Amino acid sequence: MANHVRYIRKRANGMYYYERRLPKAAQDRPTEYDALFGGKALFRESLRTRNQSEALAASEPVHADFERRLQLVLGGEALPPCASDNATRRVTPARLVKITEEACERVATPWRQALIRAELGPADQAELERMVEQREWDAEHLRAVLLDRAQIDDARLPDLTADVARLIEDERLDAPAGSNMYAIIMRAVREGQLRGQREIDAMLSGSISAIPQERPNARRPRAPKISEVLDAYIGQLRAPRTIREAKEALSSFISVIGDIPLDEISRADVVEFCKVEGARVIGGKTSGSVSRPMSPSTLKKKIGLLRAAINHATQVEMYAGPNPAAKIDARHFTKPVPKALMPDKRPFTVHELQLLVNHPWFTGCESDKRTHEAGNHRLDGMHFWVPILAMHTGCRAGELGGLRVSEIRLDHQHPHVVIQDNRYRTTKGSYRRSVPLLDVLLDLGFGHFVERVAMAGHDRLFFDWQAPAGRVDAGATAWANASLIRSFNRTVVPQQLGSLLMEGARQEVTFHSFRGAFKTLLGRSEYNLPENYKHEVIGHAKSALDKRYVQEIPLADTYPAIKECAYRGLVLPPAPGS
């Protein structure tokens, strides 16, 4: 059998994955270990199939990639495969309790059954007497094995060394021979067998009942693994970003603690996870990304997702027990992030908006391919209109990416855009709102652009805005991660605002800053707009009183109140074709 097969695992949902622990020799080279394996001792990659044959084929390049990276870490030094490569499960205090209980049950259960079956007649009673006689004959040797740690070659007597080796291999426990953890497991098995022998003595003397306390043949339900808990939780999520973050939280937790049953995870395990995660340095892997300590908010989100998943498991009766992730404050495990590295995100100023609309996307570029170089070619689609619409409606990138032509009501008494769930995307909280179209937008020619797209037969307004990976799914399309938004954030903003941004720090303004700019515009004193009007239009949470008594503010009220709002001093370039 190929070497890689032993590292293939199968989740409860039937999905196969490759899992392997890095040898200590690799972990002892922190620079290469961090660069090639992200500093994670446990390497795991989904094989993206529920078919066993396909999983075997898919695992070969994953195995080859692991071996290639491992050789780079070790500087070409070859390491033969060993049992610890496959030891991916961390030994927890709860698991040790189970090991002891299971060892006890293996010893006592045959005797419990024999005592009960003796009630059936002479043949079963004779078998019980034979077992008692044999036990008395072996008693001295049994005592030597269990109490004095003697090694006796007799098939009737326990072989603890073989039992422990088989247990570690079968359950892939991280307990190499000769290690302290190996000794602890050996002790747990020994204590379990001793307890079992004492139970046999008690049953034979009649001091305890041989009848099981639980219903005969009843099995205690197996606690789900943390991966199964997160899979069930993710299955009922809708927001792509939350799904992605939940998967990242699961991957991080398993890399530190392991994919173990929920009833084996203690609060101490979650605290240990927080300590390891809180000490990590993140970012710096792509252009413009800044290396920085993990922030309290990032760790808080990971813990919150784990806690929510466990609560969900309790609600749907996957698990009955305490939530080990409850009441943990992430601030105790992270360092403050310097503002010099991570300035707060903020809105665009009017001056910055003016600099942005002076970019070739708006004034003329060299060609459809060379959109960042100045020229005489005008872009008349998404490059021009998406940022212009964002700064004058405050709509999120995802809301604009999935906007349908039919959701733009130009012929209405109060021209507006309807933001609601549709076939291309969901909205935050699945809320529906109507956003008035400002006079400045209509005067610029936005209505003509919409009519042109409709005449061409397109359903989506920005049909040239391609979904990431070309896949459109209402519940999963990450429009904000499409090439248009990445190009704006990574090229347009630095190109136009580079001298205004903090050098060597996270970029404090992005496409989302249009939303803040629009809210700032609505908050100008000369417009005197009520707070609930601003929240209604921009889609922010309303106050508890508004939710209860006002609910949705009619478009007939919001439209006349904001239709004449405009950025003071901003000069927009003429629309293409005007």
Does the pLDDT of residue 212 top 70, yes or no?
A: yes
Q: What is the pLDDT of residue 81?
A: 54
Does the pLDDT of residue 361 top 80, yes or no?
A: yes
Q: Which of 18-27, 330-339, 545-554 has the lowest mean pLDDT?
A: 545-554
Average pLDDT over residues 393-408: 95
Does the pLDDT of residue 219 top 80, yes or no?
A: no
Q: What is the pLDDT of residue 474?
A: 66
Does the pLDDT of residue 1 top 50, yes or no?
A: no
Rounded CA-CA distance 161/394 in Å is 68
Compare 288 and 100 and report the one with higher pLDDT.
100
Rounded CA-CA distance 535/523 in Å is 11
Q: What is the pLDDT of residue 537?
A: 93
259 neighbors 225 (Cβ within 8 angstroms): yes
- Tell the residue number behind the tokens 């009630």, with chain if given: 119
Q: What is the pLDDT of residue 88?
A: 60
Does the pLDDT of residue 548 top 70, yes or no?
A: no
Compare 410 and 35 and report the one with higher pLDDT.
410
DSSP 448-512: HHHHHHHHTT-SBTTTTSPPGGG---TTT--GGGSHHHHHIIIIIHHHHHGGGSPTTS--S--TT
Rounded CA-CA distance 342/151 in Å is 62
DSSP 17: E
Rounded CA-CA distance 565/420 in Å is 24
Is 42 in a helix, a strand, or coil? Answer: strand
Average pLDDT over residues 496-523: 92
Q: What is the pLDDT of residue 77?
A: 61
Compare 258 and 516 and report the one with higher pLDDT.
516
Q: What is the pLDDT of residue 183?
A: 94
Q: What is the pLDDT of residue 546?
A: 54
Does the pLDDT of residue 342 top 50, yes or no?
A: yes
Does the pLDDT of residue 218 top 50, yes or no?
A: no
The pLDDT tens digits for 186-207 are: 999 999 999 999 999 999 999 9
Compare 559 and 73 and report the one with higher pLDDT.
559
Q: Which of 86-90, 150-154, 471-475, 527-531 has the lowest mean pLDDT?
A: 86-90
342 neighbors 506 (Cβ within 8 angstroms): yes
SS (H, E, C) 83-149: HHHHCCECCCHHHHHHHHHHHHHHHHHHHHHHHHHHHHCHHHHHHHHHHHHHHHHHHHHHHHHHHCC
306 neighbors 229 (Cβ within 8 angstroms): no
Q: Which residues, at least 6 apart from 468, have a Cβ–Cβ distance to it below 8 Å?
A: 477, 478, 479, 481, 482, 483
The pLDDT tens digits for 48-80 are: 888 888 888 888 888 888 888 888 888 766 555
The pLDDT tens digits for 438-472 are: 999 999 999 999 999 999 999 999 999 998 877 77
462: number of Cβ within 10 Å = 22
Rounded CA-CA distance 32/25 in Å is 11
Average pLDDT over residues 296-319: 93
pLDDT band at 3 (very low <50, low <70, confident <90, very high): low
pLDDT band at 364 (very low <50, low <70, confident <90, very high): very high
Q: For the chain, how big is the Rg over CA atoms in Å?
A: 32
Rounded CA-CA distance 427/155 in Å is 67
- Tell the residue number behind the tokens 């190929």, with chain if given: 2
258 neighbors 181 (Cβ within 8 angstroms): no
The pLDDT tens digits for 116-174 are: 999 999 999 999 999 999 989 888 988 988 998 888 888 788 899 989 988 887 777 88
Strands 416-419 and 433-436: antiparallel
Average pLDDT over residues 521-537: 93
Give all domains of the chain, ordered by start, each with its CATH number: 3-86 (no CATH), 93-205 (no CATH), 226-333 (1.10.150.130), 350-562 (1.10.443)
Q: Which spans in 263-418 are helix H?
A: 267-278, 296-315, 350-356, 360-363, 382-393, 397-401
Compare 562 and 85 and report the one with higher pLDDT.
562
Please give the structure tokens belonging to residue 198: 């004492």
Compare 429 and 498 and report the one with higher pLDDT.
498
Is 190 in a helix, a strand, or coil? Answer: helix
User: Chain-wide mean pLDDT for the chain?
Assistant: 87
Q: Which residues, at least 6 apart from 59, have a Cβ–Cβ distance to it below 8 Å?
A: 4, 5, 7, 8, 16, 18, 47
Q: Which of 25-34, 85-94, 221-230, 563-572 has the lowest mean pLDDT?
A: 85-94
Q: What is the pLDDT of residue 380?
A: 93
Q: What is the pLDDT of residue 217?
A: 46
Residue percentage of the chain with pLDDT more than 90:
49
Q: What is the pLDDT of residue 549?
A: 46
Which of 393, 343, 386 lies closest to 485 in space, CA to CA?
A: 386
Q: Which residues pair with 435 in a beta bridge?
A: 417
- Tell the residue number behind the tokens 């956003």, with chain if given: 435
Compare 39 and 276 and report the one with higher pLDDT.
276
The residue ranges of DSSP E strands in 206-347, in sequence order, are 281-282, 292-293
Q: What is the pLDDT of residue 551?
A: 66
Q: What is the pLDDT of residue 214?
A: 62
Per mean pLDDT, which of 474-483, 499-508, 524-533 is the most reliable?
A: 524-533
What separation in angstroms does the CA of 150 have from each of 99, 141, 160?
A: 21, 8, 10
